[in-house]
Structure 1
Amino acid sequence: MSDVRVLNILGRDYSIRACAEEEVVLAQAMQLLQVRVQESQQRFPHASHQELLVMTALNLCVPLIQQEQRLAASLERINRQLVDLP
């Protein structure tokens, strides 16, 4: 069963439906987002809320892309090693 949880980001409420299994991850994501938005506010004090959210989203995406690239490179190395096995 999913419960609706209200998250407040930059003074605006967002209703998000989450099942019990997702609740912990959602809380962690919310906490991370709040921290990163605050960092963006410090770096760009005159940015609008929309600009802060966009910059924060971009800053969150960069490490994700880098992690995906490292994972793909690791999988490629493993596959090459498996092919080279006698």
Structure 2
Amino acid sequence: MILDSDTTKVISILGNDYTIKAPEGQEQALMDAVTMLKSALSETKRSYPTLIGDRLLVLAALNLCSKQVELQRQHAEELSRYEEQVSATVEVIEKTIAQG
């Protein structure tokens, strides 16, 4: 007998139910994503009260993607800055060892 380690969840978004399998250990991540999407839908609906259905969903998804792109850009900048700091520290250590 093969056991399926995925957990099936039924979520409701904009009045539609979706059955989604979450890999074992990822159930909370799925529920967090659902909460984030529902929050984005609510925010988008407040800003654009006439939008409904797919248009509302697409705009909310684009807003989430836009935030993700900005976070990735910030992360890349911070990573570059940290790499420069590490390189500078390594240079100082190398000079100190060479003098020592």
* TM, length-normalised to structure 2: 0.76
Q: Are residues 1:7 and 2:8 paired? A: no
Note if contact 2:7-2:27 (Cα within 8 Å) is conserved in structure 1: no
Match of 1:52 in 2: 56
Cα deviation, residue 48, structure 1: 2.5
What percent of counterpart residues are identical? Answer: 30
Q: Distance in 2 between matches of 1:35 and 1:78?
A: 33
Q: Which runs of 5+ in 2 are unaligned?
A: 93-100
Note if contact 2:44-2:56 (Cα within 8 Å) is conserved in structure 1: yes
Cα deviation, residue 19, structure 1: 2.5
Q: Distance in 2 between matches of 1:14 and 1:73?
A: 38
RMSD: 1.4
Cα deviation, residue 45, structure 1: 1.8
Match of 1:16 among 10, 20, 38: 20
* TM, length-normalised to structure 1: 0.86
More strand by share: 1
Q: Which runs of 5+ in 1 are unaligned?
A: none
Q: Are residues 1:33 and 2:37 paired? A: yes
